[in-house]
Amino acid sequence: MKYPGSSNISAGADSKLLADLRQAVPAGRISTEPEDLDRYVADTYWKALAARAAGAPLGRPDVVVRPQSDEEVAAVVRLANHHQVPVVPWGGGSGTQGASIPTRGGIVVDLTGMDRIVEVDERSMTVTAEAGVNGKRLESELNQKGLMLPHYPASAEFATVGGYVAARGSGVLSTRYGKIEDLVVSLRLVMPTGEIVDTLPVPRHAVGPDIAPLFIGSEGSLGVITRVRLQIAPLPAARHFEVVSFPTVADGIEAVRKSLQSGLRPSVVRLYDEVATRITLSPVVGSQLPGVATVICFEGDAGVVAAERASMLRHVRAHKGEVLDGSLGEVWWNHRYDFYSPPHAPELPAVWGTIDVVATYDRLLPTYHALQEAVAKPYAARGLKLRSHLSHWWAQAAVAPEPLVSVGGHDLRALRPARRRARRGHAARPHLEGRRDCRARRRCGHQRPSRCGPQTRALYAGAARRGP
């Protein structure tokens, strides 16, 4: 099948590229087989899933290459540059924004064949891994040594470490350990011209600019990350959870702000607004929680945990917070991936996405309210629910990922005015983000979700024909 947007390199003059690729990379690592190419038409972006289900994907590669070394990646990029063909790096395919979809065809470089954990340096507390190493596998190997990569995204089971960096990810422990950009020590990069570059192998520099930050969050647009060196940490001696409830989001924000600005570093702070407490958190922990429920975790040395806990709970009480049953925090921890599977996560034919909003404290509450005005209210009648939680905190600012859920297969175009308003109104990074059905992927034994049954295809045929 020839999809729109495909450059169809296998025809005519472009067969020279294929011949050159076959010279550069062993034949078994290059494929133009339709069933292979079809595996790269959608990541977990809702619109890509819907388009694929309708039989009209947003893009499809012309060739997929699965390199196993830096040199092979470099050779592929050099040839793509020479032949002026697009290259799209592909990690775990768990991205939520459609960034890995080859909308102009060309070459997908699937990095999952580069899956060596190169070195665990327990003295410097770093791990060096090839870009295609799966997040869950890395975590399990580190855990066996009493260590952890303190980046715990909900997609660890599917994502790669290269994808963590390329997508500038955040994990649930970010309030203590930082986001992925705080954990990167150095990168090995294949530049668009095919040169292999190692950034300096130290976490901070004394002089001059650093190119590594350019590649963090570059989503494959500036080159290919083939190796990462990341900071690791010892598994904490103790991890203690509390669940508290505030009368309002404003009270909760103030309690957390004061705690962080006084120097406390809880690892988890997840503040769910009233709607999210009711329809997101409560069903997963199996208890109907009141108000604005917030899960907090303290970790590390037992003495530090006890002191931080006591101090933060003072701030909580000072802002009208009620301390609930802390064991529900452990239930949350043990079920934290359930949020992303049915029945808690949406699936086709629903429409869903998230908007990640970052704001400094002076604008945080107005931004939260503005989002309610711009997104929740206008579409409430269509069944859209805005489930907001604040989950990554600094002394200066916080991030609120706001999952949207619209049940019933609405046309995504209905959301566009709200997206534009959100962009204009806030210094934020709004995007639509799909959450995929993890169990479905496991059932299919497929790298990416496969929701393309005849019924779904029929539902989406109209929408997909209208184009992206």
Q: Write out the residues near ligand FAD by the rule CB under 6 A.
A: 43-44, 88-96, 99-100, 111, 131, 153-155, 158-160, 162-164, 166-167, 169-171, 219-220, 224-225, 340, 435-436, 438
Closer to ligand FAD by Cβ: residue 296 or 438: 438
Closest distance between ligand FAD and the C-beta of residue 259, in Å?
Answer: 22
Nearest to ligand FAD of 158, 272 (CB atom): 158
For residues 402 and 354, is the Cβ–Cβ distance under 8 A? yes
**H-type alpha helices, 90-211:** 135-143, 161-166, 174-177, 180-183
**Closest CB to ligand FAD among 114 and 253?**
114
Task: Return all residues near 204 (Cβ < 8 A) that are at least 6 apart.
Answer: none
What minimum distance in Å lies between the beta carbon of 74 and ligand FAD? 13
Within 10 Å of residue 120's Cβ, how many Cβ atoms? 17
What lies within 8 Å, CB to CB, of 341 at 6+ separation is: 437, 438, 439
Q: Is 453 left (phi over 0), alpha (psi -120 to 50) or beta?
A: beta
Asked if 239 and 150 touch (Cβ cutoff 8 Å), the reply is no
Smallest distance from the beta carbon of 87 to ligand FAD, in angstroms? 9
Residue 384 CA, chain-centre distance (Å), reads: 22
Rg of the chain over CA atoms, in angstroms?
Answer: 23
Q: How far apart are CA 30 and CA 20, in angstroms?
A: 11
Q: Which is nearer to ligand FAD, 177 or 379 (CB)?
A: 177
Please state the closest distance from residue 154 (CB atom) to ligand FAD, in A: 4
Provide the residue type at 269 as one letter.
Answer: V
Least distance (Å) between residue 2 CB and ligand FAD:
23
Max Cα-Cα span within the chain = 72
Q: Least distance from C-beta 6 to ligand FAD, angstroms? A: 17
Burial bucket for residue 278 (CB in 10 Å: 0-12, 13-18, 19+): middle
The least distance separating ligand FAD from the CB of residue 163, rounded to whole angstroms, comes to 2
What is the number of the residue whose Cβ is closest to ligand FAD?
A: 163
Q: Which is nearer to ligand FAD, 176 or 315 (CB)?
A: 176
